[in-house]
Structure 1
Amino acid sequence: MRGGTSKGPFFLADDLPADPALRDAFLLDVMGSGHPLQIDGIGGGNPLSSKVAIVGRASRADADVDYLFAQVRVDQRVVDTTPNCGNMLAAVAPFAIEAGLVQARHPQTQVRIHNVNTGKVVVATVQTPGGRVKYRGDTVIAGAPGAGSPISLAFLDAAGTRTGRLLPTGHASERIDGVDASCVDCAMPMVLVPAQALGLRGDEAPARLDADAALLRRLEKIRIEAGHRMGIADAAERVIPKPVLLSPPMHGGTLQVRYFMPQRCHSALAITGAVGIATACATEGTVAQAMLRERDLAKPITLEHPSGTLEVRLERTAAGDAIASVVRTARRLLEGRVFTSLVPECGAASM
């Protein structure tokens, strides 16, 4: 399935090995990781298409389904289940309905998704006229071709997904490797850095940034130090925290963003990253808030990225809980079986 600007196989949890080590070995094998083209598997040779969603019945009373996200590295045989992926998340509710885990209602269906990676609940609203998932529509999102039916995602209390705090270091802004940065943990642990502090305009194309070896080394140094300060001791072996470059907008938005995954620049913007950046805009003292030309956060926060823009709406409930909402689209691409060369008990799994 395509979810937002990402793509990957969706598995029922019951179809995969229960043992995490065996499950990860299976994922590496079927995706073809360890080769830059993932030529011996179904991965797409790019971090955006080397993602896996594992969906099953809910393990908690306030959710309808469990969703475990796995980032499967392309040229390394590594599976990372520490982060969430908000783009793949967009396809979880349609998948759960199609798989019979959730009963569809007319004209739309709300699905409460427990993200196992972060322990947070996200409410997805899917258009289901006549009790069937609708994929076609007029909603266009930057970074994905064509149009589709809107899928609303509301992130409930997304702060502290990994560290337990919105500002894990206790500081809204601090110096890391000679530059001002903000360590933020909301939907995704990130380190936010002004692009200009690294000698960049902020509107550079992803290919140019990916080709700048010195920049990537500097970002990795900042990322690992930020991870250490945030309590992510093994950041060098993980994809979190994600480094993010921020700059003033050029097309009337709130901020311009270059989001790294972490060794390559995203061609668009991760949904979890957008939620965290938008929250940082509303957090006093962060490098994000310092760049804002206006602070009317009642309006949607519009983040400019290499493929266009992404809007995030921020609101608070009567109880004071923060909710960040975005709209995505998704599409079911194929259904079938994928095979592995591993031991017989992992011979095949349905998608």
Structure 2
Amino acid sequence: MATLRAQTRQKSTVQSSVPASYYRGGTSRGIMFHTPDLPASSKSRASLFLQAIGAPDPHGRQLNGMGAGVSSLSKICIIGTDDLPTDIDVTYTFIGIGIERDEVDYAGNCGNMASAVGPYAYNNRLLHAQEKADPGLYEREGEVTVSFVNTNTNTVIRGKFRVEGGQARVDDETSIDGVSGPGTGVMLDFIRPGGSKTGKLLPTGKVTERLAGYDVSCVDSANPCVFVRAKDLGVEPTILPDRLLEDHATRATLEKIRTEAAVAMGLIKAGEEPPRVIPKIALVSPTQDQTTLSGKVNSASELDLIIRFISDAQPHRASPLTGTLCTATAAKIAGSVVNECLSERLALENYVTIGHPSGKIQVDAQMDENGDVESARVLRTTRRLFEGKVFWNDHGEA
């Protein structure tokens, strides 16, 4: 099962601590752990993660932990250094934590937090093979590339970033929409991300199909996603998250589509509840002028299409990175719902420029001669926010 449920009834009154780091990755934030520092029991880990984030919280605030009541800030990352495949520096396991419910979900990958993996591994001196080949790895200045496997999807990702003074360099030379302030610029390359969870780029074998009464495209690249036209649901293409959150009828329809898509993609059986984070669902529209959350206006000529993602039943305030990568891939598939919304002339050559509530993001998705995804490249930023210890009550779950 992808989701574990931990009993959080008070048993121990003495707190234990675990080393941890807190990073922003892209437009997400998460707590990062090194595997050897974690308890061996899966139930104990679940309890630790829930307490660290502050879940479950029926108030939806996660005030008793480090979450913030939204899915993009309710995340855990585990970095491993054992049993590594050839040419891989570390492993990366993503866990999405519930907000109102005690969910510990291993089902999908978080692309935004993937931008933090390389800098975390470098800052914590975990690049053992690279250090052996280059003893001056942590003393030189320049670029470092970290190769890692996301264990949730078995996808190889490479992160390239600059280092200085023995740590990932933080500056204001690179910026992304939805984030203010400095960070470490990271170029992420997702290698062969097609079929990340289902084994197929088109899990149902169809480019488009009708689910819950709507034409959709189900695509699996970096994470499984289902796309539906905003106009078919009567939704304004540039709707902002707060308004979409208030539209309970539309969100209920989207959840119905998502559930049917999960069955069609082979992720669940009929009658089962789909995982929190997959398949992701998005409203897609042709480009037009959009006003972002900051009040900035993106003109239609700056964008190739517009997307609005729902993540964990909440409208995303930017765009989940794996969903963005999947969108760019779907845009390259002739006849897909996304492809039919794509501008005839790209705003930036070789890149698909996607408008989202916080601005825009550009993705280079390369397809091979067989129509499979060769790679998907995107620029993100990350920043180390703190290193220290997370405290929790260890109830000794076996």
Q: TM-score normalised by the shorter chain: which range applies? A: over 0.9
Q: Please give the alpha-carbon distance, in whole angstroms, between the structure 2 residues aligned to 1:318 and 1:63.
A: 27
Question: Structure 1 counterpart of 2:338, which letter?
Answer: A
Q: In 2, are the aligned partners of 1:235 and 1:241 still within 8 Å (CA)?
A: no
Q: TM-score, normalised by structure 1?
A: 0.93
Q: 1: CA distance between counterparts of 2:369 and 2:156?
A: 18
3-state SS of the aligned residue for 2:194?
A: coil
Match of 1:256 in 2: 306
- 5 Å matches for 1:77-88? 77-88=102-113
CA distance in 2, matches of 1:237, 1:138: 38
What is the alpha-carbon distance in structure 2 between the residues aligned to residue 334 and residue 179 of structure 1?
A: 46
Letter in 1 for 2:327: I
Measure, in 2, the Cα distance between the counterparts of 1:125 and 1:54: 20
In structure 2, what is the equivalent of residue 37 of structure 1?
Answer: 61
- Structure 1 position 150, deviation (Å): 1.6
1:335 maps to 387
Alignment pair present for 1:175 and 2:225: no
- Confirm whether residue 156 of structure 1 aligns to residue 191 of structure 2: yes
Structure 1 distance, partners of 2:198, 2:263, is 12
- 1:51: Cα distance to partner? 0.6
2:98 aligned to which of 58, 62, 73: 73
- CA-to-partner distance for each residue in 1:295-334, whole Å, 9 max, x for gaps? 6695210000000000001235799861110001111101
Q: CA deviation at 1:106?
A: 3.5
Structure with bigger RCO (C-alpha 8 Å, 6+ apart): 2
1:90 partner SS = helix
**Is 1:289 the counterpart of 2:289 in the alignment?**
no
Q: Is the 8 A contact 1:192 1:246 kept in 2?
A: yes
Further displaced range: 233-242 or 59-68: 233-242
- 1:312 equivalenced with 2:363 (yes/no): yes
In structure 2, what residue type is equivalent to 1:241?
P
1:52 alignment partner AA: I
User: How far apart are the structure 2 equivalents of 1:239 and 1:9?
Assistant: 18
Q: In 2, distance between residues paired with 1:316 and 1:248?
A: 22
More strand by share: 2
Report the Cα distance in structure 2 between the residues aligned to 1:170 and 1:214, rounded to whole angstroms.
30
| Structure 1 residue runs without a partner (length 5+) | 347-351
Alignment check: 8 A CA contact 1:157 1:323 kept? yes
Are the counterparts in 1 of residues 202 and 220 from structure 2 also a CA contact under 8 Å? yes
CA distance in 2, matches of 1:318, 1:241: 27
- CA distance, structure 1, for counterparts of residue 188 and residue 369 of structure 2: 19
Pairs within 5 Å for 1:1-351: 1-35=23-57, 36-57=60-81, 59-102=84-127, 103=131, 104=137, 106-129=141-164, 131-233=166-268, 234-250=272-288, 251=299, 252=301, 253-294=303-344, 299-315=350-366, 322-343=374-395
Change (3 A) 1:336 1:345: farther
Give 5+ residue unaligned stretches, structure 2: 1-22, 132-136, 289-298
Query: Mean Cα displacement is larger for which, 307-316 or 220-229?
Result: 307-316
Contact 1:243–1:262 (Cα < 8 Å) also in 2: no
Q: Which letter does structure 2 place at the counterpart of 1:245?
A: L
Residue by residue over 1:72-119, the C-alpha shift from the partner in whole angstroms, topping out at 9 and shown as x without a partner, is: 011110011111111111111000011110244531100001101101
Please state whether the residue corresponding to 1:9 is helix, strand or coil.
strand
Cα distance in 1 for partners of 2:164, 2:205 equals 47
Change (3 A) 1:333 1:131: closer
Q: Is the 8 A contact 2:230 2:236 kept in 1?
A: yes
Q: Is the 8 A contact 1:114 1:122 kept in 2?
A: yes
Output the CA distance in 2 between the equivalents of 1:321 and 1:193.
Answer: 21
The Cα shift of 1:258 comes to: 0.2
Name the larger-Rg structure: 2
Structure 1 letter corresponding to 2:176:
I
Shift of 1:66: 0.5
CA RMSD of aligned residues (A): 2.0
The TM-score normalised by the length of structure 2 is 0.83
Question: How many residues end up aligned between the 2 structures?
Answer: 346
Question: 1:106 & 1:324 partners in 2: Cα distance?
Answer: 27
| Partner Cα separation in structure 2 for residue 290 and residue 321 of structure 1 | 19
Cα separation, 2, equivalents of 1:270 and 1:146: 20
Is 1:298–1:314's contact at 8 Å kept on the other side of the alignment?
Answer: no
Deviation per CA, 1:152-182, whole angstroms, max 9, x where unpaired?
A: 0000000001000000000000011111100
